[in-house]
Chain A
Amino acid sequence: MFDEVQHFADWLVYTVLGLMHGSKIGDALNFFVFDTIKIFILLALVTVIMGIINSYFPIDKVRNFLTKRKWYGADYFIASFFGTITPFCSCSSVPLFIGFVKGGIPLGVTLAFLISSPLVDAVSVAIFIGMFGLKVTIVYVVSGIILSMVAGYILGKLKQDDLLTDWVKEIISNKLTTTNTYEEERLPFSKRLPGIVKEAFGIVKGVSIYILVGIAIGGLMHGFIPTGFFEAYITKENPFAVPIAVLVGVPMYSNAAGVLPVIQVLVQKGIPIGTAIAFSMAVVGLSIPEGLLLKKVMTTKMLLLFFGVVAACIVISGYLFNFIL
């Protein structure tokens, strides 16, 4: 599918710019041109597809769906699944959290949604397909959903309702404010599409600078770091590699767009893929700014539990990735 793009990159770098095939600069630039074009094509495709799904299942509808009846555990899956297709903005996490809990959705289910939303989204899926192929992407998405379900379930079982901050408890107990007035928009597909495309374009535009910088750094590393360089330091056999990668990744704050292009090169240079994915999950899924936002609804104890359980689940999936991929 991307043969044409590779031809174009070869032509541009080796013919038009006259750089030597096999030279470090030439290869780095070729990698940069090819990856940039490929990623942007995939981004456009995936954001539009996810936008279409999201248009029919907006967040309000998902909440309504979850509160309407008892789900006997299936709600963990529903929340994690729809978390992946809902575009995530960290500043929405608190309103979303309160809106869910106030509507009567169990705490664990709410957290499952909150975990899966940044972890798997249109941008990360597009970059994963472009950089690691379909098989790794499917494993990533499926494990991202399972991870969110498991972490949400464990956190739900810990009975932390008392650990919410006081004003949140107040909101929840004040049932008068629960006005669940969701009205579905009944627009034909042709009327929805322009908005969806515009929205998708906005998302792509928003992450484009991160992707360009990420791919540029990746391209440089690709050209200048010898293949297998990291193998000497980080091997699959080292049992501490995954936990250390996760511990380093948690405080870091970046979106999938910035971190994944670099990860791809690290994998090419010998870092085990599971360790690399666990690192990127930790960077994308948990961060200090997100913690500060959640501090408004959770006490410190609950926040630490949340980070601890999610980080532990990421470590386990890192080992699993190394095992199956």
Chain B
Amino acid sequence: MKHIKVLGPGCAKCKTTYNNVLEAIKQTGVAADVIKIEDLMEMMKYDVLTTPVLMIDEVVKVKGRVADVAEIKQLLSA
């Protein structure tokens, strides 16, 4: 079971990242839960500077840009 977090205050880029994560999970069939963190105070606990941020099991994998489905699939299978 992987724990995925998408951090971002709700801009278009963050939504795209979130949807890409869902799509990647669907395509790979990996067991994972996805949490979307939009609250700024919650977000600052992770010391992010640029959004969106993609975290897998509490490790920052991608920050400041949208990760596409293929890239997320690769990260999920690693």
Given A59-B64, A167-B41, A171-B44, A94 and B9 touching (CB < 8 A)? yes
Quick check: B47 and A179 within 8 Å, CB to CB? Answer: yes
Q: Are A95 and B44 in contact (CB under 8 A)?
A: yes
Query: CB distance B45 to A95 under 8 Å?
Result: no
Q: By the criterion CB–CB under 8 Å, are B47 and A91 in contact?
A: no
Interchain CA distance A60-B47 in the complex, whole Å: 10
Q: Size band of the B side of the interface?
A: 10 to 19
**Chain B residues whose C-beta falls within 8 Å of the C-beta of A98 in the assembled complex:** 40, 44
Contact A92 B41 (CB under 8 A): no
A 156-198 contacts with B by CB, 8 A: 167, 171, 177-179
The complex places the Cα of A178 from the Cα of B13 at a distance, in Å, of: 26
- Interface presence of A89 (CB below 8 A): yes
Per-residue CB contact flags for chain A residues 180-222 toward chain B (1 = under 8 Å, else 0) read 0000000000000000000100100000000000000000000
8 A Cβ contacts from B4-39 to A: 8-11, 13-14
A202: chain B residues at CB < 8 Å are: 65-66
Which chain A positions have C-beta within 8 A of B45? Answer: 177
A296 interfacial contact with B, CB 8 Å: yes
> In the complex, what distance in Å separates the CA atom of A202 from the CA atom of B9?
20
Q: Which chain B residue shows the least CB distance to A179? A: B47
**Chain B residues proximal to chain A, CB less than 8 Å:** 8-11, 13-14, 40-41, 43-45, 47-51, 64-66
Q: Show the binding face of A for B, using Cβ within 8 Å.
A: 58-60, 63, 87, 89-92, 94-96, 98-100, 102, 167, 171, 177-179, 199, 202, 293, 296
17 of the cross-chain contacts (CB-CB < 8 Å) are A59-B49, A89-B11, A89-B64, A91-B9, A92-B64, A94-B9, A94-B40, A95-B40, A95-B44, A95-B50, A96-B50, A98-B40, A99-B44, A99-B49, A171-B41, A177-B47, A178-B47
